[in-house]
Amino acid sequence: MATISFQSNALTILTIFVWGIVSGWLISVVLTLYGLARQKPLLPTRQLLLTNSDAPLVSVLVPARNEQHRILADCIRSILAQDYGSFEVIAVNDRSTDATGAILETLAKSDDRLRVIEGEEPPAGWLGKPYAMEQAFNHARGEWILATDADMIFDRAALRTAVESTLEGKGDAMTLIPRFEAGSFWERVMIPTWAWALLMFTVFYRISNPKTQGAVGIGGFFLMRRTVLERVGGYAALKDEVMEDVRLAEMIKRSGARLFACYAPDLVRTRMYRNFGEMWECSTKNWFSGMKFSLPFALACVFSMYLMSVVPPLIALASAIGILAGASADPWLLFTPAALSWLLQVLVLAMVSSRSEVSPAYALTAPLGLSLLYAMLFDSSIRISTGKGVTWKGRRIYEGGGVRPPRIRPAAAHRSSHQHYQNRER
């Protein structure tokens, strides 16, 4: 009798727990709808607000390392095809071991707006990308700086629209959230989960509110006034930041400058990865940094999301097997909320799938995508916190541990670095 009572109590507690998860996903549906409603796409401007004579010079910085087999040439051509009247492109061949340098040099011969810099190996204390950006920045002449990546494709109105929209809004910086394209099965499973996570971040941290510290920076398109970048310390202030774009956004916002983050699928697009291995490698590089290198926080996120996204479908499956086996009516008590939880996950991801032009049918794999997302976070956290380190584009980073939460460095850091570079050139 006591055993029956215990089983009944355990079933009741588990049922209440699963209904609690359903409530959590219902809240997620509401927040997703709210976020999508607020995230209006930035469309190409139709009316020219700037003539060629009064358009400020923009320096477009493009770091490139081992990009031969990707879309480097298409990226550079899309930048050079901009209908904006005053810009230069500075591409850094970041110690590539393939034909990246040759591709850049060939493109530069046909357009004198493109300048190619042979990058140097990062000195002690620097990561590869921030140092490549620093080298490009030290050659830049523009009043405005546009940081981008070698896997971005620009609409010809992207630069003009961003500059005009920033000036019209009296802003100091603008980052554009691109269309994240997905080609393979694993991309279609994973990309919507990332798009949803990014959407939830923008909602929770109120990134559009200048009074909050929440900020998003997209390295593929980050436009800013040169004076603002210099004021926060330039790339020297980001020399050991693996998520330098997010940290830069935080620094700019904390400095009091006005930062706009706009969803712009018609202006910029990217296919960041080509296979599962690239996705895993990039995620292990970034995710723990996104948790501010807090192992307890990261593990809490992993544990809570597995409870929210993976456990309910497993319970639904076990309950369905019990029902089919002719068990008592008790499995229905669990099957109903567990199945509903899974369906709500599917609904959430289906709503954001269209942002990446992924069929909503892939939302049916929601538990798989979310479980992999947080498995990547777990792997990133363990590798970095234990000092094992991770690999990115042939370079080992975070080996030996010693990671620390991101901090703001003084602006003098970049001024001294820039002056040193100028003296060396002379």
The confidence score (pLDDT) of residue 424 equals: 36
User: Which pLDDT value is given to residue 48?
Assistant: 59
| pLDDT tens, residue by residue, 366-390 | 999 989 999 999 999 998 988 888 8
Quick one: pLDDT at residue 8? 64
User: CA torsion sign, 58 to 109 to 131 to 205?
Assistant: positive
pLDDT score for 136: 96
Q: What is the mean pLDDT of residues 328-354?
A: 87
Query: Bigger pLDDT: 273 or 297?
Result: 297
- The stretch 168-180 carries a mean pLDDT of 93
- Asked if the 58-274 domain carries CATH number 3.40.50.2300, the reply is no
User: Is 282 a residue whose pLDDT tops 90?
Assistant: no
Q: How confident is the model at residue 51 (pLDDT cuts 50, 70, 90)?
A: low
Q: Classify each residue of 300-325 as buried b or exposed e, where b means 16 or more C-beta atoms within 10 Å of its C-beta.
A: ebbeebbebbbbbbebbeebbebbee
354 or 319, which is more confident: 319
Q: Is the pLDDT of residue 415 over 50?
A: no
Domain residue extents for the chain: 58-274
Mean pLDDT, residues 58-68 taken together: 93
Confidence of residue 33 (pLDDT cuts 50, 70, 90): very high
Question: For 137-150, what is each residue's pLDDT tens digit?
Answer: 999 999 999 999 99
- Quote the percentage of the chain above a pLDDT of 70: 89
pTM of the complete model? 0.85
* 284 pLDDT higher than 80: yes
pLDDT tens digits, residue range 224-236? 999 999 999 999 9
In this prediction, residues 30-51 reach a mean pLDDT of: 82
Does the structure show a pLDDT above 80 at 400? no
104-131 pLDDT, tens digit each: 999 999 999 999 999 999 998 899 999 9
pLDDT given for residue 379 in this prediction: 92
- Which positions ≥6 away from 331 have C-beta within 8 Å? 318, 319, 320, 322, 323
Q: What is the mean pLDDT of the chain?
A: 86
pLDDT category at 12 given cuts 50, 70, 90 is confident
List, for residues 287-304, the tens digit of each pLDDT value: 888 888 899 999 999 999
